[in-house]
Amino acid sequence: MAAAAAATEESLRKALAEKQSAVDNQGNAVRTLKANAASKPEIDAAIEALNRLKLEKAEIEKKLQYCIGNGGADGSINKEAFRQHVVNTLERRLFYIPSFKIYRGVAGLYDYGPPGCAVKSNVLAFWRQHFVLEENMLEVDCPCVTPEVVLKASGHVDKFTDLMVKEEKTGLCYRADHLLKDFCNEKLQKDLSITADKAAELKHVLATLDDLSAEELGAKIKEYGITAPDTKNPLSDPYPFNLMFQTSIGPSGLSPGYMRPETAQGIFVNFKDLYYYNGNKLPFAAAQIGQAFRNEISPRQGLLRVREFTLAEIEHFVDPEDKSHPKYSEVAGLEFLMFPREEQMSGQSAKRIRLGDAVSRGTVNNETLGYFIGRVYLFLTHLGIDKDRLRFRQHLANEMAHYAADCWDAEIECSYGWIECVGIADRSAYDLRAHTEKSGVSLVAAEKFSEPKEVEKLVITPVKKELGLAFKGDQKKVVEALEAMNEKEALDMKASLESIGEVEFYVCTLGKNVAIKKNMVTISKEKKKEHQRVFTPSVIEPSFGIGRIIYCLFEHSFYMRPSKAGNEQLNVFRFPPLVAPIKCTVFPLIQKQQYEETAKYISKSLTAAGISHKIDITGTSIGKRYARTDELGVPFAITVDEENFVTIRERDSKDQVRVRVDEAASVVKDLSEGHKTWEKVWSEFPHHIPPSSADED
C-alpha cells in the first residue's frame, strides 16, 4: 500500500510539473497574442485554454495534496485530529497532567493522574504476573542514582548522545536530526512545486537520517539553509550532547553520578549473586521495573518522548551454545505480523507469519528469542493492543550494535506512526564482558561435566624471539594477531606453513600483510582433561517502555458513539477489565435513602472483594453518569432501582442484566477477574430493557 501510494505521488508530481509548464507556455501565448493585438475571439480562445489548463493543474494539486496528506506517507491530517481528541480527553479526565502545570510545566515531564495511575499499576501488576511469576524470574530493585564507573563500563558515558545544534544568540538548543527531518517533511507535504527528483532526494535523506554523522548532518543543514525554527537565526555545527541527567553523589563533589538511562545495568552488575541464588544454573531470567531518565534535548511527540519514564526489563541469561527454551512449544503456533529484515530491504510490508516457522527458517535467530517474541505478543494483545496494529520488526544490520546476534522491536501503530514499544534483543555476551573487564570481577557461568571430558584444544604459540627479530617494534601486534586467530584460520596457516614454509598474514592493527615463516609460530592441537566448561552467558533482553505501551493502548481503546438523542458524540475507552482504572460504578437510580443504603452495601462488598469502584450518589441523570464513566473506561455499572434487584450494565454493548443485590459484587468480581465473560453473564441472568428515558440521554 505504501509502495503504491509512493508511485502515485511520483506520477502526480510529474504530471503537475508538466501541467505547470503547459500553463506557463499558454500564458506566454496569451501575452504574445495581446502584444501582437490579435483578434478578440483569438485572444478569448487562448485565455479559455489557459483557464482550462489552470483548472486541470488545480485538480492535480488537489490529488497530490490528498495523496501526501492523507492517503500517502502517514495520513497526517486525520490522525492529528484524532490524536488531539484523544489527548484532550485524557487530559480533561486526568489520565495525564503536564507536570508542574501551575508553574507552566517542564517539557517532557508528565504526571499520571488518578485513572492513568490506576491503569499503569494494573499494567505493571499484569506484567509481574505474566513474566515474573509465570517464568519464576528473579526480580530486583536497584537505585536510580548510579556511579559513573558503571555507566562508563556500559558505554553510556561515551556513547549515549544525540547530535545537537545551538542557536548562538539565545542559547536555544535543537536536535539536529529533528530539524532536518522537519525540513524534509515540510517540503514534501506543503511545497507542491518541488520536482520528483527533489522529492526523491528528500525521501532518501529521511530514510537514512539515523545513519548520518555529525559532519553529514551539518552539511545538509547548511545546504538546505535551515535556521532556528523560532528566531530564524543561524545555527552552530552539530555536536554530541550526553542524554544522561548528571549529578554528584555525596557532599565532596568528587563522585560524579547519573540518573540511570535504563534499569538493565543494575541486573548485570548483580549477575554473580543472582547466578548463585539460582543454584549456579542456567538459564534464568532477572527482571526489574523502575524509573529511567533521558535528558532529551527538546522533547516532542508529547507522551511518547519524555524525560522520565518507567521501564520493565528482563535479562534472560543463557548458555550461548544452547539457546533452546523449554516452553518454546507453547508459543510456536502463534501467528502475527512480522517484518523481517529482508522484507524491509525489498520494500515489502509486514506479513502474518507463524512464529514457529520464523524460528525454524532462521529468520528469528533462536528459540529463546522466539519464545519472548511470542510472550510479548500475548502480553500486549491481552492488554487490549489491536493485533492488526502490532508488528514485530527486525532490526536492519546497520541498526544493530555490532555485538548483537539479533534484535526485534514490538512496534505499535498509533497516530504518530509505528512506535517502538518493546525491544527484544539477543545482546550476546557484551554486557557481562564489559563489566568483567571494568570491575575485575569475573561474571561467568560454568557447565560441570558429569565426568571429565577429554577435549582437543588448539594451541597457538608465537615464537617471540624470531618475531622480534623480524618485526622489531611491531612484534607485539603480530603476536596478538596470531593469538586471536580462530580455529579455521590457524589450521589453514598450519597447513600452508607445513607445505610452503611461509604465508602472508594480514594484521589489522598494522593495516598490512606480513610474512610469517615456519619458525615464527607453532600451531598444534592438544588433548586435555576438563571438568567443566567456563563461559560468559549470552543475554536476551526484552525491554518494555511502559508509558509508550499505555499511550498506544489509550489510542487503540478510544472510540466515539452518538448519544441516544443523537445530538452529540460520546467518548468511550474500551479497556478490558484487567486494565480498566476502576472496574465498576455503583449508582442509585434516583436520590432516595433506601437506594443509597443498598448502593453502600454493594460498595462494601466490592471493597471486601478487592474490586476498585466508585459510588456516585449525585442526582445527575443516569445517562449522564453512564457517559461520564464510559469516558473513563469503566467496564461495568451497577444501578440500584429497587430493593432486591439491581441492573448490571456492560459498557460497550450497553446491555443490562438483572441480578440479586447480594450477588452483584460477586458477579462483578467474576467479570473483572476474567473468571466469566459478559456473554456468559448475559446467558445466565434475565435481561433488562431500560425505559427509553432512563438510559443514555
Binding to its own copies in span 472-501, by CB under 8 A: none
Strands (E), 386-433: 390-394, 406-414, 417-426
Q: Which of residues 529-558 bind its own copies (CB under 8 A)?
A: none
Choose, by CB under 8 A, the member of 211, 273, 642, 684 that binds its own copies: 273
Check binding of 439 to its own copies (CB under 8 A).
yes
- Give min distance, CB of 272 to its own copies, in A: 7
Residues 6+ apart with CB under 8 A from 650: 635, 636, 656, 678, 682
Residues 6+ apart with CB under 8 A from 646: 598, 602, 638, 639, 640, 658, 659, 661, 664
Query: 63: exposed, middle or buried (C-beta count within 10 Å: 0-12, 13-18, 19+)?
Result: middle
Tell me the residue type at 617: I
Check binding of 612 to its own copies (CB under 8 A).
yes
Residue closer to its own copies by CB (options 176, 350) is 176
Choose, by CB under 8 A, the member of 11, 298, 344, 563 that binds its own copies: 298
Residue closer to its own copies by CB (options 100, 506) is 100
Residue closer to its own copies by CB (options 296, 335) is 296
Cell numbers at residue 162, please? 544525540
Residue range at the interface with its own copies (CB under 8 A); choices 13-21, 62-70, 285-293, 419-427? 285-293
> What distance in Å separates the CA atoms of residue 54 and residue 191, rounded to the nearest whole number?
18
What secondary structure letter does DSSP report for 472? G
Residue closer to its own copies by CB (options 556, 583) is 583
Q: Which of residues 572-611 bind its own copies (CB under 8 A)?
A: 607, 610
Residue range at the interface with its own copies (CB under 8 A); choices 146-154, 180-188, 393-401, 585-593? 146-154
> What distance in Å separates the CA atoms of residue 568 and residue 564, rounded to the nearest whole number?
9
> What distance in Å separates the CA atoms of residue 669 and residue 675, rounded to the nearest whole number?
8
Secondary structure of 296-333 in HEC code, one letter for each residue: CCCCCCCCCCCCEEEEEEEEEEECCCCCCCCCHHHCCC
Residue closer to its own copies by CB (options 151, 478) is 151
Residue closer to its own copies by CB (options 151, 516) is 151
Task: Return the exposure string of 136-166: e unless at least 16 CB atoms fall within 10 Å of the residue's CB, then b.
Answer: ebbbbebebebebebbebbebbeebbbbbbb
Choose, by CB under 8 A, the member of 10, 61, 74, 139 that binds its own copies: 139
Residue closer to its own copies by CB (options 152, 203) is 152
Cα dihedral sign, 190-191-193-198: negative
> Which three-class secondary structure state does DSSP give residue 174?
strand
Q: Give the x/- contact pattern for its own copies in 217-256, rule: CB under 8 A.
A: ------------------------x---xxxxxxxx-xx-
Cell numbers at residue 552, please? 498506544
What secondary structure letter does DSSP report for 405? S
- Can you say how many angstroms the Cα of residue 351 is from the centroid of all Cα atoms in its chain? 19
Check binding of 641 to its own copies (CB under 8 A).
no
Choose, by CB under 8 A, the member of 7, 81, 207, 441 that binds its own copies: 441
Cell numbers at residue 332, please? 510456536
Residue closer to its own copies by CB (options 241, 471) is 241
Q: Which of residues 103-132 bind its own copies (CB under 8 A)?
A: 103, 106-107, 109-114, 116-118, 120-121, 125, 128-129
Residue closer to its own copies by CB (options 257, 384) is 257
Residues 6+ apart with CB under 8 A from 561: 569, 570, 572
Choose, by CB under 8 A, the member of 34, 42, 277, 459 that binds its own copies: 277
Helical (H) or strand (E) element with 569? strand 569-573
- Give min distance, CB of 115 to its own copies, in A: 9
**Number of shown-chain residues binding its own copies (CB under 8 A):** 82
Choose, by CB under 8 A, the member of 220, 375, 391, 435 that binds its own copies: 435
Choose, by CB under 8 A, the member of 15, 29, 149, 334 that binds its own copies: 149
Choose, by CB under 8 A, the member of 192, 297, 467, 640 that binds its own copies: 297
Q: Give the x/- contact pattern for its own copies in 176-215, rule: CB under 8 A.
A: ----------------------------------------
Check binding of 136 to its own copies (CB under 8 A).
yes
Instruction: Give yes or no for a cis peptide into 635 (omega within 30° of 0).
Output: no
- Give min distance, CB of 138 to its own copies, in A: 4
Backbone angles phi, psi at 411, to 5 degrees: -110, 135
> What distance in Å separates the CA atoms of residue 573 and residue 44, rounded to the nearest whole number?
61
- Give min distance, CB of 420 to its own copies, in A: 22
Residue range at the interface with its own copies (CB under 8 A); choices 164-172, 421-429, 655-663, 683-691? 164-172
Cell numbers at residue 564, please? 441516544
Nearest to 366, CA basis, from 411, 316, 433, 422: 316
- Give min distance, CB of 251 to its own copies, in A: 4
Q: Which of residues 76-105 bind its own copies (CB under 8 A)?
A: 94, 97, 99-103
